[in-house]
Amino acid sequence: MAKYIEIANQLRSDISQHKFSQDQPFPDQLDLANRFSTSRMTVQKSLNILRAEGLIYSRQGSGTFISKNADLIVQSDFGVDQYVGTSTLLGDRHQIESQVIKFEIRYPNDSEQIALRLNDKELIYDIIRQRVVDKEPYALEYSKMPVKVIPGLDDKVLHASIYGYIQNDLKLKIGSAFRKISADKANSNDEKYLKCGPMDPVLEVTQTVFLNTGIPFEFSST
């Protein structure tokens, strides 16, 4: 595992154990470089991960601080029901179908290694699914999941509920998530699978979802 990912993992653990005060500036890059016997550039990459996850933020002229909701991001079960998956959220009232567009196993790129805390030799599933609700296209899911965390995914699971498989078959508990919501113009896949026009706005949700143990199991964009 890359040094900057190891440092980010350690600092994330320190934050979850309240080893830093939210009222005091976070240790600066030089102090962290000395602590971990590395360069300031490596530390900066580690801090960029924590900043992207919403754990820390910069205050102009004052330094870097821990976010007030850091506990929720790294260790809480708050909002677990938001991450149970489309089938559970809508299945009791609507007909849910899943069409598998892509399913392969490969090695992760840099951003996937960071989000899923993997090294470059640990395999991931690369999945694209169209979700159809009551015969109408509902969403396109681009999901990456670590094979070692979610073993046994196959075509049968993908056509049903991945989250159902995780909870009912693997007996794992889904915890919190770090989520970003934005809007964009429809791309070619949106036009093809969601019946969008080229100028139609599309809601995009990017998230990293964690088990209740704090292990990330999904890095996705929907």
For residue 3, the model assigns a pLDDT of 85
More confident residue, 213 or 65: 65
How do 216-221 and 96-106 pair as beta strands? unpaired
More confident residue, 37 or 207: 37
Whole-angstrom Cα distance, residue 22 to residue 45?
A: 21
More confident residue, 170 or 17: 170
Specify whether the CB–CB gap between 73 and 178 falls below 8 A.
yes
Say if residue 89's pLDDT is above 60. no
For residue 72, the model assigns a pLDDT of 58
Residue showing tokens 């980010």: 8
Say if residue 82's pLDDT is above 90. no
Say if residue 11's pLDDT is above 80. yes
Average pLDDT over residues 34-63: 87
Locate 123 and state its tokens. Answer: 């395999």
> pLDDT band for position 73 (50/70/90)?
low
More confident residue, 135 or 148: 148
Q: What is the sign of the dihedral through the CA atoms of 66, 78, 204 and 119? A: positive
> pLDDT band for position 79 (50/70/90)?
very low
Specify whether the CB–CB gap between 172 and 85 falls below 8 A.
no
> pLDDT band for position 74 (50/70/90)?
low
Nearest to 108 by CA among 140, 148, 135: 148
Average pLDDT over residues 110-138: 91
Q: What's the length of the chain?
A: 222
For residue 60, the model assigns a pLDDT of 81
Per residue in 20-45, pLDDT tens?
A: 888 889 999 999 999 999 999 999 98
Whole-angstrom Cα distance, residue 87 to residue 90?
A: 6
